[in-house]
Structure 1
């Protein structure tokens, strides 16, 4: 690519120079996942790119309410979850059903894996904000789907049905998981712990 220039969605040539030949044919290519017609709630911009002597206009749609949570919202969501007594809160938390979760395990189907869940489902108008975020065991989140009228008791039943072999990990199992993932063990009750040398 020899040049890249930003333009508004209105199209048309933008400025001159920069090594882009304005007489070359333009082809429109939508970026994967962008809708064919712009939505009123989203903004868009275009970038003109020259590749092998031809100009391409790439449109990027920017949704006003993204489906996934931002990194900062995920960090704050993790921080608001219940702490596991005696364990480093940056590594271990409990979801609101009491399931123990390990921070390094995200989106997998295992016992200590978690998802960042929309309390009010995204498909039902839920926003990707901190107020609408909770950490939840991934298998329970999958079972919950986009249901809104579901009690805590029903979610606990789903948790047991989906992962019947899951139980709270022992301290030794938690130590092993931390050693495997981080190379050390950290406790919340002091700076001590084990280190691999």
Structure 2
């Protein structure tokens, strides 16, 4: 005998939690995987979905950054201002410094806020930590919580040079002079 009940019942379908070694030892594993992938449904319409991740998807973060205010004379892919006017640097995310930012839920996630573009804002990390999940905090109070730092154009150049290996000026050529 090869084991109780195996001869009379078909083998159970492999669960998604099977260890990889089980998949590798099975001759039909590739065909099974292809079938599983063919059965997957991808829906672009999220309005009927209850899917609401705790953190913003990459594409939402991208668009959230793009909707933040530009910093005059600087590359908008690298520098933005939060709604309070604090300057933030693209690569400094999730850190506590004055140029660091978070992708903030305007209506907090814990209060039913969705991880959507409409509910996303780039916010200086210090301010976001102070805000927490409160919705009753005024803009004036948030400005008080801002971590202020004075950064010169030369400082910004050095930060860009350190992070990206070059310095790129903003696309807005309105006003100002570039003296070489």
TM-score w.r.t. structure 2 length?
0.71
The equivalent residue for 1:14 is 13
Counterparts of 2:143 and 2:159, CA distance in 1 = 24
CA contact (8 A) 2:60 2:116 kept: yes
Structure whose residues are more often helix by fraction: 2
User: CA distance change for structure 1 residues 175 and 49 in 2, over 3 Å: closer, same or farther?
Assistant: same
Counterparts of 2:64 and 2:121, CA distance in 1 = 6
CA contact (8 A) 2:84 2:143 kept: yes
The equivalent residue for 1:141 is 128
The superposition leaves residues 104-138 of structure 1 with CA deviations (integer Å, 9 ceiling, x where unpaired) of 10000001000000000000000000000000000
Counterparts of 1:189 and 1:168, CA distance in 2 = 23
The equivalent residue for 1:120 is 107
The equivalent residue for 1:186 is 168
Q: Which among 4, 9, 19 is matched to residue 49 of structure 1? A: 19
User: CA distance change for structure 1 residues 124 and 190 in 2, over 3 Å: closer, same or farther?
Assistant: closer
Is 1:92–2:62 an aligned residue pair? no
Q: How does 1:33-182 map to 2 (within 5 A)?
A: 46-49=16-19, 51=21, 64-159=51-146, 163=147, 166-182=148-164
Give structure 1 regions of 4+ aligned residues with deviation exceeding 3 angstroms: 50-53
- Pairwise CA RMSD: 2.5
TM-score w.r.t. structure 1 length?
0.65
Bigger RCO (CA 8 Å, 6+ sep): 2
Counterparts of 2:67 and 2:128, CA distance in 1 = 18
Mark the runs of 5 or more structure 1 residues left unpaired by the alignment.
1-11, 16-44, 54-62
Mark the runs of 5 or more structure 2 residues left unpaired by the alignment.
1-10, 24-49
- Say which SS state the counterpart of residue 162 (structure 2) adopts: helix
